[in-house]
Amino acid sequence: MAHRIALIPGDGIGLEVTPEGVRCLEALARRPGLDFEFTEFPYSCEYYAKHGVMMPEGAIDELSGFDKILLGAVGYPGVPDHVSLWGLLIPLRREFQQCVNLRPVRLLRGLTSPLRNRGPEDIDFIVVRENNEGEYSEIGGRLYDGLPEGMAIQSTVITRKGSERVLDFAFRLAQSRPARHLSSATKSNGIKHTMPFWDECVADVGRRYPDVTWDQFHIDILAANFVTHPDWFDVVVGSNLFGDILSDLGPAIAGGIGVAPSANINPTGELPSMFEPVHGSAPDIAGKGIANPIAMLWTVVMMLEDLSEQQAADDLMGAIEAVTGEGRVLTGDLGGSASTREFTDAVLAHLNG
Ligand code: ATP
Ligand code: MG
């Protein structure tokens, strides 16, 4: 049966890189036993300009019938960030209970890290971010606004259920990797209630995975260690805020935003997971055909893995890395002069060759 994929190319370079991901999937679908059925949705800031909403009523229902969602990028100048965030990204992540955000951090062959003397053997880990609760809650408010007594209070919500499902995912992921090592981000020396609770959940879940070695670091030193000892890390798990910070720092040491993939996973598989490059719509380069498609193609690799199409995933990743390893066809952000399409053409040549 064909995998049913909902495509939301979105805005800016999302419209340019999503078709490149589809081209790779179509090339893979020439193999017997692998097939995809694509349905495209125009939800975007352009849609918002016309209809006053990022997506119509009923969109969530309709999307819930798909196996996976592949998203380009949403956001464009003139439309405030909170519109695209609260009008599309957050409702999708929440409604589909995509409580795990995954960001692989691996330096691809041929690419250079801004960290001196660090190569692909040193930078290969994956950041697992809690995606549904934590510090990003709507609970809180302001008091005595405009007065000298003014103050703001923001509550963090960490539940055992929410923590255990993301931790369970992270430990299982660690178990599947050769190093079988997990590091948890905490700050229980300064944050007195929620973080010790998180630590307890880590210890409890950790006991179920005796074959995984785990450690924990305060977020400040953990961030520093990404820079000084990236080779220490294998699977790194953090709350919503800590995971957010680490999942931007990670890609920054591994070739930048043009190559960084991500996945929003519903671990039960009952509702669709959503796959999107880390980058945004990049209005400064949109429409020129020069965006780096690696982030999208690697995102497609993650989607294939989640569909249990491991062979196709490995082949596509292998083709991407063959091209970066040769170093002849690269986009501008990586010091080359190839177009978005030319890079994908090179990947397809490897894939088909
Ligand atoms: P958003 O608010 O949508 O997240 P942003 O401005 O925060 O947008 P990006 O759109 O990701 O962030 O762009 C940040 C910078 O990185 C821009 O200069 C952009 O051109 C560059 N960039 C982002 N993605 C790519 C890509 N795929 N290839 C090349 N450059 C990129
Ligand atoms: Mg951004």
pLDDT more than 70, % of the chain: 100
Query: Considering the entire predicted model, what is its pTM?
Result: 0.94
* Long-range interactions of 189-198: CB distance < 8 A, separation 24+: 189/218, 191/156, 194/134, 194/156, 194/158, 194/239, 195/239, 197/158, 197/160, 197/163, 198/158, 198/163, 198/239
DSSP code of 255? T
Name the residue at shortest CA distance from atom 15 of ligand 1: 282
- For residues 249-279, b (16+ Cβ closer than 10 Å) or e, as one string? bbbbbbbbbbbbbbbbbbeeeebbbbbbbbb
Given pLDDT bands bounded at 50, 70 and 90, which one contains residue 138? Answer: confident
The answer, yes or no, to whether any atom of ligand 1 lies below 6 A from the CB of 285, is yes
Q: Is the CB of 73 under 6 A from ligand 1?
A: yes
> Using N-to-C axis directions, what is the helix angle for 240-253 and 219-228, rounded to 10°?
10
Tell the residue nearest (CA) to atom 5 of ligand 1: 280
Residue with tokens 């931007």: 248
pLDDT digits (tens, 9 = 90+) for 283-327: 999 999 999 999 999 999 999 999 999 999 999 999 999 999 999
Residue 1 is predicted with a pLDDT of 82
Residues above pLDDT 90, as percent of the chain: 94
**Which of 54, 279, 296 should be mutated for ligand 1, with most atoms under 8 A from CB?**
279
* Cα torsion 270, 271, 277, 279: sign: negative
Cα 33 to ligand 1 centroid, rounded to whole Å: 36
- Distance (angstroms) between ligand 1 centre and the Cα of 280 equals 5
Bridge partners (DSSP) of residue 214 are 182
Cα gap 32→318, rounded to integer Å: 20
Answer yes or no: is pLDDT of 230 > 90: yes
| Mean pLDDT calculated for residue range 235-262 | 95
DSSP 149: T
240 pLDDT above the threshold of 90: yes
* Residue 280 Cβ < 6 Å to ligand 1: yes
> From CA 129, how far away is CA 88, in angstroms rounded?
19
| Ligand 1 contact, 302 CB (< 6 A) | no
Using the atom order of ligand 1, give the atom closest to the CA of residue 76.
3
Non-local (6+) Cβ contacts of 63 within 8 A are 6, 41, 69, 92, 96, 272
Q: Residue with the nearest Cα to atom 19 of ligand 1?
A: 282
| ipTM for the whole complex | 0.94
Longest dimension (CA), the chain: 70
CA of 136 to the centre of ligand 1 (A): 23
Copy the structure tokens of residue 343.
Answer: 């890079």
The residue whose CA has the least distance to atom 3 of ligand 1 is 280
Query: Does residue 339's CB lie within 6 angstroms of at least one atom of ligand 1?
Result: no
Does the Cβ of 333 fall within 6 Å of ligand 1?
yes
Whole-number Å distance, alpha carbon 280 to ligand 2 midpoint, is: 5
Domains along the sequence of the chain with CATH: 1-99+268-352 (3.40.718.10), 113-254 (3.40.718.10)
Residue 353 confidence (pLDDT) above 90? no
Residue 79 C-alpha to ligand 1 middle, in angstroms? 16
Ligand nearest to the CA of 13: 1
